[in-house]
Every structure is written in structure tokens, then in C-alpha cells.
A and B are shown apart, each in its own frame.
Chain A
Amino acid sequence: MHLGDLISAYLDSQVDASERTLVEAHLAGCEECRSELAAATVGRKRVRELPLLEPPPGALRPPADVVPLRSARRRSLVAAAAMATLVVGVGFSVSAERAVPLRLDAVVDQHVARASVDPGLNVLQVQAVVNR
């Protein structure tokens, strides 16, 4: 079973909560659907990045006085995400000795922490720690 056109509906946020869960669960385990997601993403992106053109003068001949044109592009706003419950536990200190086994999650954390010092898009940097 593959996702098919549910993929585009998902990209356009035209799915309900249960469909969204289904899509995300399936994508995690299906290479073919991920490729199809990537292809649909590009097809969607290329059209959405087309420039907004100004109509040439006279293209929208009004019946009365000339009125200025404004963009009608709408944006759907999402409600605020629920805040994750903060649980404070015991922090742990990490030995810096070379004998300590390397943990990939700790390595990525340290890279991302340092990277966040410099000007950059944290929305991209932070993605490195998810799924690490």
C-alpha cells in the first residue's frame, strides 16, 4: 500500500489529523513514498516560486476610476502548538577523556550548539539534532 495522492494533500495541509498520522508513519518506513514525496515537493515548489506578475496597464480595465491593485494571496495561520511539559531531572556531566565511548547524539548536540552561535538559520541547524 502506498500513499499516492495523499502525499500532495499532506504537503498542502489538506488532510485531517488521522490522515496526517498515517502519512507520517508510512513515510518513516517507505523509501518509495519518500521519493514520491520529494518529487511532489519539487513539482509544488517550482510552481509556487514562479514570480507574481504585474498585469500590464489596461489588462484590468475598470468600469469607473482606476483603483490600485493589491495582492490577494492568503496565508492560513495555525493555532499555537501546545507547549511541551518541562520535566527537570538530574543533569549529567560528561567526561572529556578520550576513553569515553563516543555517542552520536552527544556529538551532534555539540556541533549544533556551537553552530547556533554564528548567524544562521536555526530552523535548519536544529534539524540536525532530530533523527540523529
Chain B
Amino acid sequence: MIFALTLTLMTLLGTLPAPDLVDDLDDAADAEFVGRQLVVCWGADGVVAHVTDIEQSGGMTMVTGPDGSFVIGEGKMIEQWAGGVRYLEMAPSSDWRLWDGYRVQEGLAGVADPAGSRAIEIRQGEALRARFVLDGATATPLTTEIYNGQGSLYRYSTMLEVGPRQGDTMLDMDDMPEPDHRDHAVAEEVPQAAGHYWAADSYSAPGGVQVFFTDGLFRFSIFEVNRKSDGGGLNDAPAAEIGRHGGYHRLYTPGAVSVFWRTADRAYVLVGDLPPDHLESVLSDLPPPGRTNVLKRAWRWAFG
């Protein structure tokens, strides 16, 4: 009977159209809504979680925190606080694609999801890595689930309250100063691929060079900076051994993981939303933590 059930399942899944992920993600980004979002991350050092007011309109997403608000979308990052505005705009130099190790499937919405909701599942081999539930009518992202390599939840977000927007324009772009742009730049020791991720573009950044990696689902940036850097304070984050190496400092926030380490010649900061098993394979392809070589330093000092 198990065989018959499996056969029925395969037939059923075969007849469900594979969702076009790009269309669904674009629809989700265009949804107009306001609400409160809970984000929980099961980090190696414990659970981190927060709830934020969140609003989305005109393709831009705004989160309001105690000190100000952040708007992102279409390459823009706008931070507003009592002291002013910071407006950054990034231009990509490569097209998005989804890693061919992922399979996208239509899943089942849950009993608590509004009628017509859709669940989109992304699998790596047999393992479920991500599940997004979108409202059927508006494509508002209702819940998101990210799984680690062992099938446990790594990050979960849900709208505790959500509804349509009312009222004024969310953000008046006419009041904005000119944005800062970033020139393209080249890192000295960051490879073009790490784990199954590829380097999409790289830019100059305050203190060094940013290399942006993606696999289409998750993304992270490596910032290559001066060895003397304290990683913006990440040097004080909990020490961690990742893969075969110690010497990393790792910090979990509900939305991202940050890692800082020094090699013989420089320092690195990694920021991204990738799950722990991917992080480990990525770091194993990057220069590992290491002490500066005393002889090398002396040589450089003597000979420039």
C-alpha cells in the first residue's frame, strides 16, 4: 500500500505545475501590505528573535525600528533616523539565476493560511531548504521557513498581523538626497566561487572591497578589509570553530549571520542569510584564519 501511495504522490506532484520562482518572487515583492513580522533564528549560540513593523509598497520594503526606519528594494537602501538620511544605491553587473542544485515545487498551504494561499518549496536534493507561503490574492509573503542541512528550522518568519495598506505614499522619493553609489572594484584574495555559490559582482566599500555571492536563493557578501580592522566590532562576537578552523568570530541576528576573521594578510567580514551547512562549505573555500607570518612581515617592512 505504501508503494501505491508513493505512486499516487509522484503522479500528483508531476501534474502540479512547477512554479516559476522568479514570477512568484517578483509578485511577492510587488505586494502592498502593512503588518508586524516575527523573525526567529536558531543560531549555534541560542535563539535570536525580534518583531518589527513592516510595510511594503511600490516594490520597496520598509521596516521601522526604535531608532528609525530602513527601506530596501531595487538596489536601494534608505535609512532614516532623527539625525538624517542615508541613501545607498547599488547597480548589479550580472543577471540573477537559480543554482541548478535546487528544485522548485508547489507545496500545500496550511489550514491557518487564507484560502487560495500558495506554498512554494525549494529543495536541495531530497532536503527541503526553503518554504514560502504567499497570500493567494495579493502575493503577500505570510510565512517563510529556512531549513538547515539536517531538516531542522534555521530561520522562521511569520506575519503576526497583516493587512492592506491604507493612506499615503510610503516613501516620498522627491525628498531624498542624491544616492551614494559604489564603484566596481576587485578583491585581492577572494575567489570567484565558494561552496556552490558564485561571485556575482564586487564593489568598493568603506574600508575595503565587497564581493557579492549568491546561489539564487541565499546571498552573502564578503568584505575584504585591512588586517587591522576590528570588523566593525565583530572581533568581540563569540569565537567559533567552523569546519576545520577556529579563529572565527560569529554573530547571529534574526535576519543574518555575520562572521569576522583575520588571515595572515588581511581581515574578512561575511554577512548573509545562508544556512549553517552552506556557511561551512563556503568558508572552507575562502582563506582561513591565520596568524601573520613574522618573516613575511619583516620582509615587507624591509623591502616594501
Which of A's residues lie within 8 Å of B, judged by CB? 11, 13, 24, 27-28, 31, 34-35, 37-38, 41-42, 45, 47-52, 70-71, 73, 75-81, 83-84, 86-132
Contact = CB atoms under 8 A, between A and B. Distances in A.
B85 A87 contact: yes
Contact of A119 (B96, B157, B176): B96
Given A119-B21, A127-B52, A100 B83 contact: no
A86 B175 contact: yes
Given A78-B161, A102-B231, A110 B144 contact: no
B42 interface: yes
Interface centre among B83, B91, B168, B256 (most CB of A within 10 A): B256
Interface of B: 21-22, 25-26, 28-29, 34-40, 42, 46-56, 60-65, 68-77, 79-92, 96, 108-115, 132, 141, 143-144, 153, 155-158, 160-168, 170-172, 175-178, 180, 182-183, 185, 200-201, 203-208, 210, 212, 214, 216-217, 219-221, 223, 225-226, 229-234, 253-256, 258, 269, 271-273
A81 B75 contact: no
Contacts of A49: 110-113
Contacts of B114: 73, 75
B115 A95 contact: no
Contact of A73 (B56, B111, B161, B217): B111
A7 B238 CA distance: 28
Contact of A113 (B63, B77, B225, B273): B77
Given A110-B182, A114-B221, A124 B56 contact: no
28 contacts: A11-B160, A34-B46, A35-B46, A38-B47, A41-B38, A73-B111, A79-B163, A83-B170, A91-B177, A95-B206, A96-B185, A98-B208, A102-B208, A102-B225, A102-B231, A107-B223, A111-B272, A113-B72, A116-B77, A121-B25, A121-B29, A121-B144, A123-B56, A123-B157, A126-B63, A127-B254, A127-B255, A127-B256
Interface centre among A38, A50, A104, A123 (most CB of B within 10 A): A123
Contact of B63 (A27, A47, A129): A129
Nearest to B70: A129
Contacts of B76: 113, 116
Contact of B271 (A35, A50, A88, A111): A111
A96 B172 CA distance: 28
A126 B232 contact: no
A105 B144 contact: no
Interface centre among B77, B109, B115 (most CB of A within 10 A): B77
A116 B73 contact: yes
Ranked 10 nearest A-B pairs via Cβ = A89-B84, A127-B255, A104-B232, A48-B112, A77-B163, A49-B110, A113-B77, A128-B256, A102-B207, A96-B204
Contact of A87 (B47, B84, B92, B214): B84
Given A78-B35, A112-B77, 9 more contacts: A80-B167, A91-B86, A98-B207, A110-B205, A120-B29, A123-B54, A123-B56, A128-B271, A130-B255
A110 B52 contact: no
B86 A109 contact: yes
Nearest to B88: A113
B206 A94 contact: yes
Given A41-B156, A91-B86, A114 B92 contact: yes
Contacts of B157: 123-124, 127
A98 B92 contact: no
Contact of A124 (B89, B258, B273): B273
A116 B201 CA distance: 14
